[in-house]
Amino acid sequence: MARVAVVTGGTRGIGAAISRALKAAGYKVAANYVGNDEAAQKFKAETGIGVYKWDVSSFEACAAGIKQVEADLGPVEVLINNAGITRDSQLHRMKPEQWTAVINTNLGSLFNMTRQVIEGMRERKFGRIVNISSINGQKGQFGQTNYSAAKAGEIGFTKALAQEGARSGITVNAICPGYINTEMVQAVPKDVLEKSILPLIPIGRLGEPEEIARCVVFLASDDAGLITGSTLTANGGQYFT
């Protein structure tokens, strides 16, 4: 029987690639989103993947969202915490709402989402949780104290929960993408991309969303049962850990 996978931020960018890849691998996929109804409906029409709208920064919304997914598809056995936002600013100019929005969406969502499924995973003695962190959570980034703090927090969350879930057959891992060819990166001015970003990447190119998705599919599989508490860097050699 096909396992049920939930992908937060699952209708655009890296999340959309993950949703597609998991479906191709035989999972029943629920793609969460919050803001762009048009993009979500287009994604659903193109892929046949069910889309579910809720705000991952709200514990109550996550509880209701997972309840609906499980009513439609069955118990959630795979959770991909991918949703994230940026509100960049140097700290001396950063407004409290910029800090709070990023921390709540990027880091708070891990608790809000995982808390809804962890008890069921423990009862069934199986679970796969993959958290999409970032290279900037590993090395930091100018103008992103909020984002870097949240993404570094995801790595700590991953390592702690991996210890809690190991005896119950639950693996918890993080992936730290580098610069990936998504809408967000495509919005960077071409001269900045070519002069300031690409020269820092030893392989000489951006990553593709599908490359991150393939990492997720492996970590979600039965074959990855030995791997837990790990951080997989996928950045073209830009930063080594």
pLDDT tens column, 52-79? 999 999 999 999 999 999 999 999 999 9
- The C-alpha angle with vertex 232 and arms to 228 and 238, in degrees rounded to 5, equals 165
Q: Mean pLDDT throughout 134-138?
A: 97
Distances (CA, A) of 206 to 92, 98, 190: 31, 27, 13
Nearest-angstrom CA–CA distance, 39 and 45: 10
Looking at the DSSP assignment, which residues form a beta bridge with residue 174? 131, 231
> What are the structure tokens assigned to 112, written together?
């809000």
Q: What is the pLDDT of residue 119?
A: 98
> Residue range 117-127: average pLDDT?
98
| Whether the predicted model's global pTM rises above the 0.85 cut | yes
Say which residues have a Cβ less than 8 Å from residue 21's Cβ, sequence separation at least 6.
Answer: 210, 213, 214, 216, 217
CA triple 229-235-239, angle to 5 deg: 85
Average pLDDT of every residue of the chain: 97
pLDDT of residue 188: 84
pLDDT digits (tens, 9 = 90+) for 190-241: 898 999 999 999 999 999 999 999 999 999 999 999 999 999 999 999 999 8
Give catalytic residues, as residue numbers.
147
Interior CA angle at 39 toward 16 and 175, to 5°?
25
> Is residue 183 over pLDDT 90?
no
d(CA 118, CA 179): 31
The confidence score (pLDDT) of residue 98 equals: 98
